[in-house]
Structure 1
Amino acid sequence: MFDLKQLQLFTAVAEFGSFSRAAVALSISQPVLSRQIKALEDKVGVALLYRNGRGIVLTEAGKILQSYAVALLEQAARAETELAALRSNPRGTIVLGMPPSVGVVLTAPLVQNFRAQFPQVSLRVIEGFSGHLLEWLVMGKIDVAVLYNAPRMNNLLAEPILRDELFLLGAKNDPHNLGPGPVDADVMSRLPMILPARPHGLRVVLDHILGSAGIEPNIEVEVDAMPSTLRLVEAGIGYTILS
């Protein structure tokens, strides 16, 4: 493996035909330059240049290496330029996963802001329940996800966005006469509940909270789709929990 710095010094010596002139142009001392060229020759195992009365002359091996070194340095410079451009104006595709309940609120403003800040990046948004999103994230099918109660995992970086409240939703005519205001959690053991199945993130949170309080919810129907859940609630089939 070649050291790009050594190749840069070597091509400078070859171009100027003199250690002293190359050292001045590169703003380094001549002994340091000589040691770097000697190290390069030791690495390739052959002499690359020799001195004559008029200065520095490349050997046949030196001429071969010079042609490759110039090409390598040009490629490295192009790569550095392109990477710098990506840092200031990134390109590519980002796949973002969100639960439907979050997507209703977040998708439109997020896409608008993302396109304004990163016009060269294509954003793909996928909706799914937190359990599925976590699985896709671990498998590399998506790049980033918004999850309920994201678990701590060594191979994932998690940042809290906000704390949300949970609400009990029922039909407008309030079939079980719960009335306005807060209700006790144990009411879920008596009400017909419509909840998503595991591994939906909300279901996992509810099972943990209710289980620790010794409450077993009366689950009438499991539905893994928010629009269908809301229609069932509006029809008076049962109650549900949503943020």
Structure 2
Amino acid sequence: MDLRRLELMMQVAAAGSLSKAATVLGIAQPALGRQIRKLEEECGLRLVYRHGRGVSLTPEGQALIERAGPLVKQLAAIPADLQLERQSPEGLVTVGLTPTVCHLLGLELLTGLKQKYPRLVVHVVSGYSGYVLEWLVGGRLDMAILHDARRSPTVAVDPLAAAELFFVSPGAETTFERPAQPTLASLGKVPLALPTHNHGLRRTIEYAAAKEKIKLDVRYEVDTLELLKQIVVAGLACTILARPAVLSELAAGTLNARLLHAPKLHTRLVLATAAQRPVTHSMEVLEHELRTLFARLIDEGDLYGIVHPKDA
């Protein structure tokens, strides 16, 4: 059934006259009459009858208006509804963040989105990069920020920033000697606590050490950031982390962090999405907010150790 003819029929029913309806619609009365006749042919029924005062609906015409009227109004409202959703997106988006990124911008991301897009619901799931990647591929997440992830047939990645890596040591005295100038070579001379090999940060450190033929003394392997930091605070080992992961401990004096040199090491932060997953407008809004936050953090690089990907 032709939607336009239904709309014309509704206008004729409201006006009670072909001539009045034609004037309101801005079309010639004969053309309007032809469209009504074609609608009657589609239905196989007479829908209006003419009389001296105009036109009236037949019982069949009245039934058509009652049944089709709400549908026509809903269809006519779709463009406006889509524009409203574009301006104020709604729905659920689930994003995976590593602990470092959560410390860096998690709260600011959620509060900013809530203020700008109150109808948008954002779920944040946090875990080490390897786990977050598994959740993304498995469909649990809509998007994620990963450390040093590569493009694959199942995952699309786009660089956002790079985080400088710091040698993190206990704030108190230790039973082992700490290097005066932390370099890659000095990492082989101190006990370390690191994530397991499943995760991007560990792979970055191991690759750099292997390239320089440095054997690391890894005493503890843990995949929780809080326990990793507790091990270092307790004076059991040192670790390698991006500065945002230890900001509160640095302020409290329980940890020290010095930039690694010779060479500098970085972990690349990439925006990752499932390659075959359709991108919704809500996801586009979240991506824009993430890019805006990272652009500001890059400008404040001295504070957070976040740099442009090209500078890593």
User: Under TM normalisation by the shorter chain, which class is it?
Assistant: 0.7 to 0.9
Report the equivalent of 2:307.
none
* Distance (whole Å) between structure 2 residues aligned to residue 108 and residue 145 of structure 1: 16
1:34–1:241 CA distance, 2 compared to 1 (3 A): farther
C-alpha contact 1:48 1:60 (8 A) present in aligned 2? no
C-alpha contact 2:49 2:58 (8 A) present in aligned 1? no
* Distance (whole Å) between structure 2 residues aligned to residue 19 and residue 208 of structure 1: 81
C-alpha contact 1:11 1:69 (8 A) present in aligned 2? no
Which protein has the bigger strand share? 2
- SS of residue paired to 2:180: coil
- SS of residue paired to 2:137: helix
Shift of 1:242: 0.8
- SS of residue paired to 1:203: helix
Q: How does 1:7-46 map to 2 (within 5 A)?
A: 7-29=6-28, 33=32, 36-37=35-36, 40-41=39-40, 44-46=42-44
C-alpha contact 1:193 1:220 (8 A) present in aligned 2? yes
Higher relative contact order (Cα pairs below 8 Å, separated by 6+ residues)? 2
Report the equivalent of 2:180.
179
Residue 180 of structure 1 aligns with an amino acid whose one-letter code is Q
1:88–1:218 CA distance, 2 compared to 1 (3 A): same
Residue 196 of structure 2 aligns with an amino acid whose one-letter code is A
Identity score, percent: 32
Report the equivalent of 2:257.
none
* Distance (whole Å) between structure 1 residues aligned to residue 217 and residue 38 of structure 2: 77
- SS of residue paired to 2:164: coil
Shift of 1:30: 5.0
* Distance (whole Å) between structure 2 residues aligned to residue 201 and residue 152 of structure 1: 13
* Distance (whole Å) between structure 2 residues aligned to residue 119 and residue 72 of structure 1: 29
Report the equivalent of 2:94.
95
Shift of 1:19: 4.1
- SS of residue paired to 1:237: coil
C-alpha contact 1:93 1:123 (8 A) present in aligned 2? yes
* Distance (whole Å) between structure 1 residues aligned to residue 101 and residue 234 of structure 2: 24
Report the equivalent of 1:119.
118
Report the equivalent of 1:242.
241
Shift of 1:110: 2.3
TM-score by length of 1: 0.74
Q: How does 1:132-211 map to 2 (within 5 A)?
A: 132-152=131-151, 158-172=157-171, 173=173, 175-180=176-181, 183-184=183-184, 186-189=185-188, 191-210=190-209
1:64–1:208 CA distance, 2 compared to 1 (3 A): farther
Shift of 1:131: 2.1
* Distance (whole Å) between structure 2 residues aligned to residue 25 and residue 67 of structure 1: 22
- SS of residue paired to 1:166: strand
1:193–1:10 CA distance, 2 compared to 1 (3 A): same
Shift of 1:132: 1.9
Shift of 1:59: 4.5
- SS of residue paired to 1:197: coil
Shift of 1:8: 1.4
Residue 16 of structure 1 aligns with an amino acid whose one-letter code is A
C-alpha contact 1:47 1:59 (8 A) present in aligned 2? no
User: Residue deviations 1:191-210, cap 9 Å, x none?
Assistant: 43321124323224444555
* Distance (whole Å) between structure 1 residues aligned to residue 136 and residue 220 of structure 2: 28
- SS of residue paired to 2:230: helix
1:10–1:223 CA distance, 2 compared to 1 (3 A): same
May I ask how many residue pairs the two structures share in their alignment? 239
* Distance (whole Å) between structure 1 residues aligned to residue 204 and residue 32 of structure 2: 65
Structure 1 residues not aligned, in runs of 5+? none
